[in-house]
Amino acid sequence: MAIRHYVYAAGIAAGLALFAACGDEVTEVTNVSEKASLDQVKKFKELPKCDEDAEGSLVYVKDSAKVFSCSGKDWVQLNGKDGSDGKNGSNGEDGSSCTVKQNKKKTGLDIVCDGKKVGSVENGSDGKNGSDGNDGTSCTVKQNKKKTGFDIICDGKTVGTVSNGDDGKIGDGCSLEDNGLGQVTVKCGGKTVTLVKDFCGTETFDSETQFCVENKPYLKCHNAPEKYKDKLNEDGSYDVKSFFCDTTDVLENLCGGKTFDLTTQFCYLNMVVLPRCSKVAPHVDEKNLEDDGSYIGYYFCHNGVLWNKCGGNRYVARTYGSEYDPETQFCSLKDPGDPSGLIVDRCGKKKKEYDVNDSMCVNGKVVNAKECCKLNGVGENWCEEDSHIYDVRTHFCDTRDGQSYKFTKIVKEIEAGKVYSETWMAENLNYVLTAAADFVSECRKKDGSCDKTYGRYYSWPTAKIACPDGWALPTQDQYADLFGAYGNDIGAFLNESMNTSGFSVIPGGYLNSDDKGDDKVYEVTDPESAFFWSKTGISSAQGKSAYFGKVGPNDVDATKGMSDVENINLINVRCIKKD
């Protein structure tokens, strides 16, 4: 059944419901002559759902000859009731009861009070849509001038009056009194209730237990330690930029501008809120946990257990190291103040720890991470020398001469959705080519001894074939991409600076020689910079030239070239791993 809304019917319902809510009985309805239409059902159970669409509608139930109004999700009967309970009018016993009944002609409804017909509601006959009466006159209910009842006004005319009962004593009304400070006193039937309607900015708050500062409510405090006694005002307010009231109603200093729970947390160095701990993990000395559950910054609390942080440095202020998940990770060193400590994943289903100096986890099993870098055909005595043992996680072996080299995998997000990722040698090549006499490479020292600090210096033709299997001499573009990934920041590549790339450059200049007879004497040039050959050549009238990568004290550059590359100028080599 579709509910048809009629303003006229809803206006009467609002008037009757208003009196029902206040406890005053309707005793008189007079001069109701305006026409309106009501929906009808045979039985109460046939009433539709009282929802937003039906709100304010009236429906006549035939078998009980009663009208019901949809109000607040419930169908409310509009019949008047005896004021027997006297909640709002102690003498309302004699108030007249009213009902609504279909008239004999079945053309509308009669309003009957105390057995007498006092008015009628006729079905609309002049509506454009016939019986639906969609164009019927709109009506409202308004308190009359004498304030003894309500007038029913349709199309600007008073067509009827609903008056307060004359016989029953008018019940006490309700009044509101604003007490200031956001408090309101409500008086109803001799009872008084004080409500709080404080607003602090856009939030409500209780002025008895809170105070407002800069449109934000704060909890009042009633206790303070001796050292903060003068910080607590008589009304319970305080400086919210420095203090807060904790869960035990005690004034406490903020920690780094934040509140915290003193029962489960503590403030470290007046800066950081940390959880209190109850016990220590293996390898952690109990003296590092205070009786109140606090501790210093080299440790952290995980599920109530104190663990050492990893990779800290006790000689650098506030370099405490990093936290980790002790259930799936461990620190390679138990000393939380040792910067060489590494966070490592536990191995296998049993989440084992292991000695990361010699071992590593491969496919869930702990295996040896150290191998021997040896030449084919050499004896086992070769591997007895420590210099021939290397860590496969950080180095690779050049089997041509048994030297190992450190490498670094550089992964850097250069823009949204684009990542630079390449593996480079982190040391200069130190291999001597001996297959032909024109392979030119020299040591930095004139005595012919080469160490791995600077490696060897190569002519360009020699450099192009010097890298070991699986590795290649980089192009000019590859150097440009590497430098560009770090915004051409010099410190990202220097070993003694930030070295965030891991490229680990030690400036060694390049070797330059004047051709004076058969013997060439090479001198170190520009020792404050580092130079590395690329395999990209340059067309030049002065002979063969090639680009190089440069890391200098003032810039990093991949756009400059070196002339006389046959054997006059010798520079270092870094290799890049092939895909």
Structural element, H or E, at residue 18:
helix 7-22
Kindly state whether residue 245 falls inside one of the protein's structural domains.
Answer: yes
Kindly state whether residue 274 falls inside one of the protein's structural domains.
Answer: no
Q: Identify the pLDDT of residue 465.
A: 94
- Check whether residue 206 and residue 234 sit in a common domain: yes
Give the range of the structural domain holding residue 263, as residue numbers without chain letter: 174-268
Q: How many CB atoms lie within 10 A of CB 513?
A: 18
3-state secondary structure of 165: coil
CA 19 to CA 163: how far, in whole Å? 10
Q: Tell me: the pLDDT tens digits for 5-55? A: 333 333 333 333 333 333 343 333 333 333 334 577 777 778 788 877 776
End-to-end CA distance of the chain: 75
Q: CB-based burial of residue 48 (10 Å sphere; 0-12 exposed, 13-18 middle, 19+ buried)?
A: middle
Q: Is the pTM of this model over 0.85?
A: no
- Check whether residue 195 and residue 259 sit in a common domain: yes
Token pair 């791995």 is found at 452
- Check whether residue 205 and residue 94 sit in a common domain: no
Kindly state whether residue 372 falls inside one of the protein's structural domains.
Answer: no
How many domains in the chain? 3
Kindly state whether residue 205 falls inside one of the protein's structural domains.
Answer: yes
Kindly state whether residue 503 falls inside one of the protein's structural domains.
Answer: yes
Domain stop point among 104, 138, 164: 164
- Check whether residue 25 and residue 158 sit in a common domain: yes
Q: Identify the pLDDT of residue 161.
A: 67
- DSSP secondary structure code for residue 37 in this structure: -
Kindly state whether residue 511 falls inside one of the protein's structural domains.
Answer: yes
Kindly state whether residue 352 falls inside one of the protein's structural domains.
Answer: no
HEC assignment per residue over 220-289: CCCECCHHHHHHCCCCCCCCCCCEEECCCCEEEECECCECCCCCCEEEECCCEEEECCCEECCCCCHHHC
Chain centroid to Cα 518, Å, comes to: 71
Q: Identify the pLDDT of residue 13.
A: 36
Q: Which residues of the chain have pLDDT under 50?
A: 2-37, 80-95, 126-127, 129-131, 133-134, 167-171
The percent helix, strand, coil of the chain (3-state, each to 5) is: 10, 35, 55
CA dihedral 204, 206, 210, 215 (to 10 degrees): 20
- Check whether residue 135 and residue 61 sit in a common domain: yes
- Check whether residue 414 and residue 494 sit in a common domain: yes
Kindly state whether residue 126 falls inside one of the protein's structural domains.
Answer: yes
- DSSP secondary structure code for residue 52 in this structure: T
